[in-house]
Structure 1
Amino acid sequence: MAPEFSGPVQEIRRLFADRGGSGYGGEAVSQLQHALQAAHLARESGASDNLVAAALLHDVGHLLHDLPDEAPDSGIDDRHEGLAARWLSRWFGPEVVEPVRLHVAAKRFLCAVDPAYFASLSLPSQVSLQLQGGPMADVEVEHFRCLPHHEAAVSLRRWDDLAKDPDAEVPGIDAYLPLLEQALTLREGPPAP
């Protein structure tokens, strides 16, 4: 008999089933492929279950809005990280929500502190970087370093950048449902603003 999952986990599974086949912003993978690869990379690196959940869910904001896949090419930043953080904060604590909320800022941070990082970004990621504010200024870098979940966000960002292989074979969404269920029971603190 298959395990029963809570309403939030079923809703996440449905969202990926309904909208995960959409393109991932000019990359050669779908939203679902990207999410699964990011989660797999996190798990393979020994990340905590909460950070694996964050890796799986980091771009869920792309599935929640109705903008076209090519919105960045039209000069539109979908602000998916904030949308995702607000949506996820109904069910998950900061160990999951904050790395999701900060993963775009982590890209801006890495571009400011690591000269080789920008060159490693895919062209679509370079385009979206400009819409997201470009590399951080020094004062932003110092502020980012003071945030409690900044290191988790940087790790998530690196998996995000690598999770774009159309030929990668990784476990499907069902492999992560028990982990999501557990993360729900471990939530702590008030929802993110």
Structure 2
Amino acid sequence: MSMTKSETLSAETIVDFLAEIFERRGGEEYLGEPVTMAEHMLQGAHFAEQAGEPEIIIVATLLHDIGHFTSEFGTFSMDDVEDRHHEEAGAQVLEPFFPTLVTDCVRYHVAAKRYLCAARPEYLGKLSEASIHSLNLQGGPMNDGEVLAFELNQNCPAIIRVRTYDDAGKEAGLTTQPFSYYAPMVQRIVDAHCSGMAGQGRSA
């Protein structure tokens, strides 16, 4: 399935589509880290849930890297010399079905890394080799203007929280729940958003 597949998706099929991606491609290597792609995203969701986050943050964390599978440019590797823009690819697939908070956490989780490297210099020292490599491809730490623009996003605090769980999801051998555990949670977020959009349409 590719990005163009999103044109035929619906609120009733998007969760199955995402489950299929996790099943079919989740075993792929995650950017030179000691976990697979699925393990990384499931670990992030696990840590968000353990921290008592609301479902919308857990779901945003679970799906933050889905663009590695839906980007027309393919997945990242340590041999890359240019960025593949997976964050935008993921957000584009999700935005017909998820609220802006979720899609902003997906779209700007790379920007959050760049922001944190600029705003909290100690953060850069905590990044893995693979994350530093991708950071260099993604533009490096933000400049002052970019920092100010990022902070204007009303979802900035949530985006940073998701980034924190993103960074944590790299533990080899950690046991987590499968995607099926989170599927009802994902569906609730989709249903609430799509019901709200339908209501707005009727009242317009």
Normalising by structure 2, we get a TM-score of: 0.86
> Quick one: distance in 2 between partners of 1:60 and 1:68?
10
- Equivalent residues in 2 for 1:142-161, closer than 5 Å: 142-161=148-167
Retained in 1: the 8 A contact 2:69–2:75? no
Q: Does 2:43 correspond to 1:37?
A: yes
Retained in 1: the 8 A contact 2:76–2:84? no
Question: Kindly, what percent of the aligned residue pairs are identical?
Answer: 36
> Quick one: distance in 1 between partners of 2:110 and 2:40?
15
Partner of 2:137: 131
> Quick one: distance in 2 between partners of 1:8 and 1:122?
32
> Quick one: distance in 1 between partners of 2:81 and 2:48?
31
Partner of 1:174: 180
> Quick one: distance in 2 between partners of 1:56 and 1:68?
17
Q: Does 2:68 correspond to 1:62?
A: yes
Letter in 1 for 2:74: L
Retained in 1: the 8 A contact 2:56–2:102? yes
> Quick one: distance in 1 between partners of 2:76 and 2:119?
29
Retained in 2: the 8 A contact 1:93–1:189? no
Partner of 1:185: 191
> Quick one: distance in 2 between partners of 1:81 and 1:68?
11
- Equivalent residues in 2 for 1:92-103, closer than 5 Å: 92-103=98-109
In structure 2, list runs of 5 or more residues that go unmatched.
Answer: 1-10, 199-204
In structure 1, list runs of 5 or more residues that go unmatched.
Answer: none
Partner of 2:56: 50
Compute the RMSD of aligned alpha carbons: 1.6
Query: How far is 1:68 from its partner?
Result: 4.9
- Encode CA deviations 1:61-83: one digit per residue, 9 max, x unaligned: 0011363542x522121100000
- Encode CA deviations 1:132-170: one digit per residue, 9 max, x unaligned: 110000111111111011111111111111100111111
Letter in 1 for 2:38: L
> Quick one: distance in 2 between partners of 1:88 and 1:171?
22
> Quick one: distance in 1 between partners of 2:38 and 2:90?
15
Partner of 1:163: 169
Query: How far is 1:189 from its partner?
Result: 6.1
> Quick one: distance in 1 between partners of 2:128 and 2:190?
33
| 4+ long deviations beyond 3 Å | none
> Quick one: distance in 2 between partners of 1:161 and 1:121?
8
Q: Does 2:89 correspond to 1:83?
A: yes
How many residue pairs align between the two structures? Answer: 185
Partner of 1:106: 112
Query: How far is 1:47 from its partner?
Result: 1.3
Partner of 2:23: 17
Query: How far is 1:54 from its partner?
Result: 0.5
- Encode CA deviations 1:161-181: one digit per residue, 9 max, x unaligned: 110011111111111011001
> Quick one: distance in 1 between partners of 2:192 and 2:110?
25
- Encode CA deviations 1:101-148: one digit per residue, 9 max, x unaligned: 110000000000111100000000000001111000011111111101
Letter in 1 for 2:67: G
Retained in 2: the 8 A contact 1:88–1:97? yes
